[in-house]
Amino acid sequence: MNISRYNPWSLFTELEQELDRLAGTRAVAGGKLELGWAPAVDVREEPDRYVLLVDVPGIPPEQIQVTMDQGILTIGGERHLEPGGEHSDLRHQERMHGRFERRFTLPEGTDAEQVQARGKDGVLAVVIPKKATAQARRIEVHRH
């Protein structure tokens, strides 16, 4: 049985982060809102690992930062405007650009030291192995 601390405010924090992601805004110093974007992420659980698939088209894998700190996985980077950018004859723009950052709290039982990330075809795959768990076993009781 795992014992974990219950933080009732974590649900509100997660909701706020998801709403900010959907609205394309995030709070910055001074209480102002800054337009930004957040890549879509799929999280898959397999028997021996978790896999995060992050949509980052147009960003070379070597320009994406993946960090671990106290059980928090952070994925960040920046997508730039294409050459010509703001001064081009662009009539309509839907593709977001600028800095992004996504944070994930790793569940208990993950091996933070063995996290791996690789990018291909605009998708970043982050693999988080699970720690091996001790199997239940029967212990013989002997006469003394």
pLDDT tens-digit map of 39-93: 999 999 999 999 999 999 999 999 999 999 988 999 999 998 776 655 567 777 7
Length of the chain: 144
List 53's β-bridge partners, or say none.
42, 125
In a domain? residue 143: no
In a domain, 5, yes or no: no
Q: List 127's β-bridge partners, or say none.
A: 51, 116
**Looking at residues 4-12, what average pLDDT do you find?**
68
Q: 103 lies in which domain range?
A: 39-129
Which pTM value belongs to this model?
A: 0.67
Overall domain count for the chain: 1
User: What is the rounded end-to-end Cα distance, in angstroms, of the chain?
Assistant: 31
Tell me, yes or no, whether 15 lies in a domain: no
Report d(CA 144, CA 142) in Å as an integer. 6
In a domain, 63, yes or no: yes
Residue at 47 is within a domain: yes
Q: Output the pLDDT for position 20.
A: 65
**Quick one: tokens of 35?**
């337009």
Q: And the tokens for 52?
A: 């995060």
In a domain, 20, yes or no: no
Residue 14 within any structural domain of the chain = no
- Residue keyed to tokens 């993950």: 110
Give the span between the Cα atoms of 2 and 5, in whole angstroms: 10
**What CATH number is given to the structural domain containing 45?**
2.60.40.790
Q: Could you tell me if residue 6 is inside a domain? A: no
- Rounded Cα distance between 1 and 19, Å, is 33
Q: In this model, does residue 34 exceed pLDDT 60?
A: no
| Confidence grade of residue 138 (pLDDT, cut at 50, 70, 90) | confident
CA 57 to chain centre: 16
